[in-house]
Structure 1
Amino acid sequence: MAINIEGEWWKGDSAADIADYLEELAPGGYPIHTARPSRCLDCSSAVFSIELDAGGVCARRICSACGRHAFLLDSEDYWMADDDGSGPEKISCPCGSDRFECTIGFSFREGDEEIRWVSIGVRCVEDGILGCCSDWQIRHGPGSRYLLDLV
């Protein structure tokens, strides 16, 4: 497991590199305290296409193996419809692929261990390019730790 930082894009050898990438990136300016890989509940696949809502701060995944749709974290509660009817935006890698491994990074508030910030890290399965397709602040709590189980 090693991240290659040479060239235009950071690349990882495996899905485990996503957590290291998020730790280095510190989206939102907060450290990543824990990261959890995403798996399909139906078939256990770890490869997905990812869609973002109109606001770009909610995400859902579509399993590349079985086609199951699942919202990531609390995205279903806040999903924003687009005004022009074009539908959600599917993310794509600079190489053109839309197949990614996905890991969610969590930053906790100091002192109470409630979740402060979440980050959706991805790794393209075609060329290994790493990225963070979305991140957002968690404003509710206490009780935000249930999100750890919704990756």
Structure 2
Amino acid sequence: MTTDHEPAPADGFAALAEYVRTFRAEGYRVDKVVQPVCGECGHRAFEVCLDDDEGVVRRTCARCGTSAYIADGADFLEEAELGMCECPGCGGTEFEIGVGFSLHPDREVRWISVGLRCVTDGTVGVYADWKINYGPSAHLLDHC
């Protein structure tokens, strides 16, 4: 489920993480926000394709082109129709990503929210969120 997008101060990931925390998909508190980093080159800006209905988000490093799926997205790729994300403010396609996790008391993942911050104009928004209906699921925290 997407939400309204709004300009954010130019303080990078901190602004994005705060936005994801206050989004509270389905009313669930966000317990942890993780910033993905390219495993090949360490860059933190990505082009993003997603299908919010299927809970599939693919990030592609803007520097080296390495792609990875967030959480368990690759498991649902067969059903997904991915669309490229664009900033509603400037049309940019490079984003910092903040993956918010709502956790059950036993630290298993309940809900995932994926926020993006345009590196060009700082506009932030939550572009996808989905419920995790299985366990164990704590391993998803390591797949951003």
TM-score by length of 1: 0.85
Rate the CA distance shift 1:54–1:32 in 2: closer, same or farther, 3 A.
closer
Native 8 Å contact 2:7 2:121 kept in 1: no
Give the 4+ runs in structure 1 shifted more than 6 A: none
Give the C-alpha shift of residue 121 in structure 1.
Answer: 0.9
What is residue 147 of structure 1 aligned with on the other side?
140
What is residue 3 of structure 1 aligned with on the other side?
none
Name stretches of at least 5 consecutive residues in structure 2 with no aligned partner.
Answer: none
Asked if 1:106 is matched to 2:87, the reply is: no
Give the C-alpha shift of residue 148 in structure 1.
Answer: 0.8
- Map 1:1-150 to 2 at 5 A: 9-13=6-10, 14-53=12-51, 55=53, 57-81=55-79, 88-94=82-88, 95-109=90-104, 111-141=105-135, 143-150=136-143
Native 8 Å contact 1:12 1:123 kept in 2: no
Give the C-alpha shift of residue 53 in structure 1.
Answer: 3.3
Aligned length: 138
Bigger radius of gyration: 1
Name stretches of at least 5 consecutive residues in structure 1 with no aligned partner.
Answer: 1-7
Amino acid at match of 2:102: S
RMSD between superposed Cα atoms in Å? 1.7
Give the C-alpha shift of residue 54 in structure 1.
Answer: 7.7
Partners of 1:58 and 1:29 in 2: CA distance: 21
What is residue 5 of structure 1 aligned with on the other side?
none
Amino acid at match of 1:24: T
